[in-house]
Amino acid sequence: MTLRTDSESGREPLWTLVGGTLLGLLLLRLMGRPWWCACGEWSAWSGEVKSQHNSQHLFDFYSLSHVLHGFLFWWGLQWLMPPLRERWLLPFAVLLEVAWELAENSPIIIQRYRSATFALGYEGDSVLNSLMDIVCAAVGFLIARRLPWKQSVAVFVVVELLMVWLIRDNLSLNILMLLFPLPALKVWQIGR
Ligand SMILES: [Zn+2]
């Protein structure tokens, strides 16, 4: 028996990326997430954070957070570079985002969002919203890969500040509130 070696021209990274994404979406569907927003309207963008449409259409303000996930994955994988071959980096980042989506839409985290953060009526993402979240993370990863690190840090900070200004929430606050809910911060976030 011969084991197939990992050839440079192989399509394994692409298949891993596509297969991992499709498997993740299937699992999300099996976990009870709807394909699309219950409102039934086919608008790609949802601009109202505190509404039933948030995280149900293709894009909303939180799409920006998922772009930033891609930045974090790129920075993180820099350290893992030696063992991880160049062409596996993007598929690996995509799999990380798929894992994030599965965690974010698990009953425990959904309940946590509802109780600890200002996402009071959060019931998880729609499957197509999760797909676009994964696409956003991949785009963020590719952007961060192209930018010099100082510029990528600057872009990250600007996006975080922009989100606080727009919706009083961002990736850092989101993670902070999930881990260490601060009542005063929640009141400020709801008060928008
Ligand atoms: Zn809707």
Q: What angle do CA 130, 134, 73 make, to 5 degrees?
A: 135
Q: How far is the CA of 59 from the centre of ligand 1 (A)?
A: 11
Q: How far is the CA of 191 from the centre of ligand 1 (A)?
A: 23
| Residue 181 placed within a domain | yes
Number of domains in the chain: 1
| Residue 60 placed within a domain | yes
CB 178 within 8 A of CB 118: no
Please tell me the distance from the alpha carbon of residue 60 to that of residue 82, in angstroms, as a whole number. Answer: 36
Q: How far is the CA of 174 from the centre of ligand 1 (A)?
A: 22
**Residue 79: which pLDDT band, with cuts at 50, 70 and 90?**
confident
SS3 label, residue 59: strand
**Residue 4: which pLDDT band, with cuts at 50, 70 and 90?**
low
Token couple for 138: 């991949």
Instruction: Kindly list the distances between the CA atom of residue 89 and the CA atoms of 60, 127, 146, in Å, as whole numbers in the listed order.
Output: 27, 24, 13
Can you tell me the mean pLDDT for 77-93?
A: 85
**Residue 90: which pLDDT band, with cuts at 50, 70 and 90?**
very high
Q: How far is the CA of 23 from the centre of ligand 1 (A)?
A: 25
Could you tell me the end-to-end alpha-carbon distance of the chain, in angstroms, rounded to an integer?
Answer: 64
| Residue 43 placed within a domain | no
CB 156 within 8 A of CB 143: no
pLDDT for residue 84: 75
Global pTM exceeds 0.85:
yes
pLDDT for residue 192: 61
| Residue 132 placed within a domain | yes
pLDDT for residue 7: 52
Q: How far is the CA of 41 from the centre of ligand 1 (A)?
A: 6
pLDDT for residue 49: 87
| Residue 61 placed within a domain | yes
| Residue 133 placed within a domain | yes
Please tell me the distance from the alpha carbon of residue 43 to that of residue 145, in angstroms, as a whole number. Answer: 31
Q: What are phi and psi of 26, to 5 degrees?
A: -60, -45
Write the pLDDT tens digit of every residue in 129-185.
Answer: 999 999 999 999 999 999 999 999 999 999 999 999 999 999 999 999 989 889 899
| Residue 159 placed within a domain | yes
Token couple for 175: 């993670």
Q: How far is the CA of 40 from the centre of ligand 1 (A)?
A: 6
Write the pLDDT tens digit of every residue in 6-31.
Answer: 555 689 999 999 999 999 999 999 99
Q: How far is the CA of 49 from the centre of ligand 1 (A)?
A: 11
Domain range for 119: 48-190
| Residue 34 placed within a domain | no
Q: How far is the CA of 153 from the centre of ligand 1 (A)?
A: 33
pLDDT for residue 142: 97
